[in-house]
Amino acid sequence: MTESQYALDCAWFIEDKVFKTIMPPEECAAIFIEPIQGEGGYVPAPAEFMTELRRICDHHGILLVADEVQCGAGRTGKWWAIQHTGVEPDMVTIAKGIASGMPLGVTLARASIMDWVPGSHASTFGGNPVCIEAALATMNVLEREGMRNAEVVGNHILGRTRSWVTKHPMVGDVRGLGLMIGIEIIKDKKTRAQAGDERDRIVQLAFERGVLFLGAGANSIRLAPPLIVTREQADIAMDVLEECISIVEKEQKK
């Protein structure tokens, strides 16, 4: 089955199964989706799926909400990851990267949705001036160099790591956009069984060599460096990661 057909089958499942057996569409206010799964393993949603999801939402009068907390704010080389699919959401949830780690959350929506009168919505800690200043400084960096650098260095990392799928028996897949890249670790190419323990071992070995990686999903390694990372710094990290993958592969042969 092709990726496009799988994406369409997933959309069909929502309309034909979920709405008919679990929840009627008139009781569904909104569908939330991460254009690129974060904790699920850094998996980009196919453009065909997003297009079909937009059609379903429009047909039933349901809001489409893009959760861009991890994948937004320039990480993929565009302001929002959903822009890569050509689909326009009704709302976008934003946090983390928008203020470079300072505690700030933002909700972006169509004007027709944000039609509350002043005072209808409040937040105990909303609008903290220090965090707002951090967000303004972050947006300045993103627009000046950050997003472009995420695209350029991200493409460099993807170009290098995608060769590992054929070079390393334990690398099952490499996917992502910009500086949001997932590397799937498997036991072998034949069974493609998830190798969670081996993934953790690789991350630990890298930590011992001074480079921090983090797991995502059951068996993936996430690459999410600062958007100002240089190509040289990325190569140093990739050298360490590949070395650690090779070490664990040798350990599994013993």
Tens-place pLDDT, residues 238-254: 999 999 999 999 998 87
Q: Which domains does the chain have, with CATH numbers?
A: 3-144 (3.40.640.10), 146-253 (3.90.1150.10)
pTM assigned to the model: 0.88
Give the residue-averaged pLDDT of 111-128: 82
**What pLDDT, on a 0 to 100 scale, did the predictor assign at position 21?**
77
Token pair belonging to 11? 């959309």
Does the pLDDT of residue 1 top 60, yes or no? no
Region of poorest pLDDT, from 46-60, 116-130, 158-172, 197-211 = 116-130
Does the pLDDT of residue 107 top 70, yes or no? yes
Tens-place pLDDT, residues 165-182: 999 999 999 999 999 999
Tens-place pLDDT, residues 128-155: 899 999 999 999 999 999 999 999 999 9
- Angle among Cα 201, 36, 214 to the nearest 5 degrees reads 20
Place 124 in a pLDDT band, splitting at 50, 70 and 90: confident
- Angle among Cα 35, 150, 86 to the nearest 5 degrees reads 35
The separation between CA 181 and the C-alpha centre of its own chain, rounded to angstroms, equals: 8
